[in-house]
Chains A and B, each alone.
Chain A
Amino acid sequence: MELSRRQFLKLCGGSAIALGVSDALLAQLVFALEKAVKGSPAVIWLQGSSCTGCSVSLLNTVHPSIKEVLLKIISLRFHPNVMAASGDLAIKAIEETAKAADFYLVVEGSIATKEDGLYNVIGERNERGITMVDWMRELGKSAAGVLAFGTCSAFGGIPAAKPNPTGAMGVKDFFAKEKIKTPVINVSGCPPHPDWMVGTLAHLLSYGMPKLDSDGRPVLFYGKNIHENCPFRGYYEEKKFAKYFGAEGCRYELGCKGPFAYSDCWSRRWNNGVNWCVQNAICLGCVESGFPDALAPMYVNE
């Protein structure tokens, strides 16, 4: 892993301010990071009941760039959208990585458990399909750790929304059911911010397990309430509410779920900082374990 001090500072910028971490402490973290990491850890990235949005969000990382993530930070042995190999050659890449070394398992999408997992098949052996459930049993046990990227993988997400036709569930619930003890970090969001994914990876590789909240997410990124820190909060106090999209005022009456959501979107902002959901429209609360059902309907606060 070669994450330069400057890149790491940029990556941590938003959250450092949010958490009140002093610059001096941050510099210490960076030096430790540079010393601690040697070689690129092997990563297997599986997509279960997913839409590929988390992978696309990862491609949007700016500091470090995705080029550096791919070429310097991790050794991405299997990724359905990025890897050169297809078919048996791709499946062999999973099997050899799992046999040979410590590896991290990234899971994008939830795990469809009904009908013995047949709703989701990834590759085959001897003309028999290997289900996502099979892969999770096999790789879940042997992985050094699991990064559950995205709300589907963390909590089930939309595939698990009612009536949950495929028995979809997040990694932690699946592991609890299967009695698999491998540690899991949830990096929720629909999709998660690229900084949350790369930052969690950086934390894990350099300092070990980050401090997690009660939903298994790094406090570093998910520690603060959106509404309490929202730049539109002043309008709320004055009871000035936007009546239509783009109007001046707090977005609560348009359905904004900021009061129920915990993440640093309000300071980090999205897509290289050009905008974020509340400024543009409303927060959907997509980082929360209850998304989407517990936060529905989206455009109303009842």
Chain B
Amino acid sequence: MARKIIVDPVTRIEGHLKIEVEVDGGKVVEARSTGTLWRGWEIILQGRDPRDASQIAQRICGVCPIAHGTASVKCLDDAFGVKPPTNGRLIRNLIFGSNFIQSHLLHFFHLTALDYVKGPEVAPFVPRYEGKDFYRLDQATNAEAVRRYLQALEMRNKAHQMLAIFGGHMPHTAGIVVGGATEIPTVDKVTSFLWRLRELQEFVDQVYLPTVYLVASAYKDYLGVGAGCKNFLSYGVFDLDDEGSQKLFPAGVCINGQPMPFDPAKIAEDVKYSWYKDETSGLHPSNGATVPDARKSNGYTWLKAPRYEGKPLEVGPLARVWMANPILSKHANAFLGLSPEKEVRFRDLGEAAFSVLGRHAARAEECSVIAHAMEKWLSELKIDERSSVTVKVPQEAKGMGLTDAPRGALGHWISIKGGKIANYQAVVPTTWNAGPRDDHGNLGPMEQALMGTQVSDPDNPIELVRVVRSFDPCLACAIHLIDGRAERQAIRVL
């Protein structure tokens, strides 16, 4: 007989998430993901000075404020018709890169690792899910992993310190604005940034990557768990030229393993299983309507179901790295039992890439790529030259800002009327990943990843949270944004 398992709250993620599954014969046969907090950010943005959007939008999420800040300033640049100078582009990249490193270290060591590693025997590390074979590292390896957990706390802190050299303050940076960045680079700032960056590169290459593969080698079965939809989307991230035509991670879509060019017009959002009126289903976000229908009996979440040509797409490190297909670190060679000389690319992992471990490996590998690219950007800074252009608020304008957050494809849209924000919209990574079924009943990517997962003990469903956390969900982002133009409505969350 099927048994229902509810995990609420799912902790060690950002925000408020509930997971509900049905298990039959030890396997997940039904899966639903539900977000449980709504703040109405887009409504709050309406009527404000457009320049304030980049500060307010950052505060959607304290883990990835730079992602929202970046999407927002790109959106404002577009609406204002301005192009940041080279220093502005580079400083934005350096600030964003610092936050990627911080976010990925935090995710692996502090949000995820406790699903595989036993922490110290004190709160907040106990209680924890307990069961046979849950924590497989031998005592010495586990102790070393805990030491690295603590070391990573210091390193992620350093990444924020590095960020603040150009960002002023973190979380929530003062340093990126429409028209560029605020700091004018000086030799002392560049030097002070560089030494921290070198230390972080070393940590990523010599501690983060090997720890991911160390854990992976004890949990190889997780190369076959949590496949998801195997379709990917990235808006691309880190501009390599001032026109934004080249990016470190390119934009793209990948359906059934086949890369193809990205066309934003092919996105639509379904709401049959969300608490919104059925007649608003299937619209493009730029003309989307959001009319809550809280008592809709088949609704189960505040997230919509974004689809691309009707297909669910996974976003995030796995999507970016599958499409960019970089050469992997030597730690990957060792994990795969290949000689260090052999050139292994991410797609060489084949089907095993579509998995819980595939996501963790992609995240760590891209973290190294970014950390090394940052050194080049730092060297390209033009010392003592301005990083911003002076801007003037337009009376009427529209803008779009697309980027990739650490967690995946992130888009902001603005409409300005009378010099004020008339409308502000965002479609965020976790909506793609953790959204519900679409109108045709196709499950969202995270729901698909949960399907078929073996659950050994319904009271300690560690397998479920391992799958969910591999996506690095960020619910503050996903839920606060979906309800753009809604008036206050009676709602029902559960």
Contact = CB atoms under 8 A, between A and B. Distances in A.
Interface of A: 42, 47, 49-57, 59-60, 62, 65-67, 70-71, 75-87, 89-93, 112, 114-115, 118-124, 127-129, 158-159, 161-166, 168, 190-191, 244-246, 270-272, 274-277, 279-282, 284, 286, 292, 296-300
Interface stretch (B122-130, B225-233, B366-374): B122-130
Main secondary structure of the interface of B (DSSP, over half): loop
Given A52-B63, A83-B11, A246-B184, 20 more contacts: A51-B63, A56-B106, A67-B153, A85-B11, A86-B9, A87-B461, A93-B127, A118-B493, A118-B494, A121-B18, A121-B36, A121-B493, A122-B9, A123-B9, A124-B494, A158-B59, A166-B39, A245-B184, A246-B386, A270-B168
Contacts of A112: 37-39
21 contacts: A53-B63, A84-B124, A84-B129, A119-B39, A122-B9, A124-B494, A162-B44, A166-B39, A244-B388, A245-B183, A245-B184, A271-B160, A276-B168, A277-B169, A280-B168, A280-B183, A281-B175, A281-B182, A292-B55, A296-B49, A299-B51
B136 interface: no
A219 to B, nearest CB: 23
A66 to B, nearest CB: 5
Interface in B40-98: 40-41, 43-44, 47-49, 51-52, 55-56, 59-63, 65
Chain A CB within 10 Å, residue with most, of B9, B36, B111, B175: B9
Q: Which of A54, A89, A119, A245 has the most CB of B within 10 A?
A: A245
B111 A81 contact: yes
Contacts of B476: 50-52
B137 to A, nearest CB: 15
Contact of A275 (B10, B47, B165): B165
A77 B123 contact: yes
The 6 A-B pairs of least Cβ separation, nearest first, read A53-B62, A280-B168, A165-B40, A297-B49, A246-B184, A271-B164
A60 B160 contact: yes
A158 B153 CA distance: 28
A284 B41 CA distance: 18
Interface string B1-18: 000001111111111101
A51 B62 contact: yes
A274 B161 contact: yes
A77 B153 contact: no
Contacts of B177: 245, 281, 299
B350 interface: no
A190 B172 contact: yes
Contacts of A91: 9
Nearest to B184: A246
Nearest to A279: B168
B392 to A, nearest CB: 12
A123 B184 CA distance: 47
A279 B163 CA distance: 14
Contact of A71 (B44, B122, B490): B122
A191 B62 contact: yes
Contact of B16 (A53, A121, A272): A121
Nearest to A299: B51
Contacts of B171: 53, 56-57, 191
Given A271-B164, A284-B55, A246 B387 contact: yes
A299 B49 contact: yes
B156 interface: yes
Contact of A158 (B7, B37, B44): B44
B124 A76 contact: yes
B16 A86 contact: no
Given A51-B60, A53-B171, A246-B387, A81 B488 contact: no
A91 B18 CA distance: 13
B44 A161 contact: yes
Contact-residue size bin, chain B (C-beta under 8 Å from the other chain): 35 or more
A52 B61 contact: yes
Contacts of A115: 490-491
A261 B466 CA distance: 44
B125 A84 contact: yes
A292 B56 contact: yes
A79 B493 CA distance: 22
A86 B164 contact: no
Nearest to A265: B169
A105 to B, nearest CB: 15
Nearest to B114: A84
Contacts of A57: 62, 171
Interface hub of A114, A168, A276, A297 (most chain B Cβ within 10 A)? A297
B157 interface: yes
A129 B182 contact: no
B110 interface: yes
A127 B157 contact: no
Contacts of A279: 168
B401 interface: no
B154 interface: yes
Contacts of B261: none
B164 A274 contact: yes
Contacts of B6: 87, 124, 127
B481 to A, nearest CB: 12
B157 A297 contact: no
Contacts of B386: 244, 246
Contacts of B493: 118-119, 121, 129
B411 interface: no
B187 interface: no
Given A50-B476, A129-B494, A77 B168 contact: no
A86 B124 contact: no
B37 A120 contact: yes
Contacts of B182: 245-246, 280-281
Contacts of A56: 62-63, 106, 171
Interface string B142-176: 00000000100110110011011111111110110
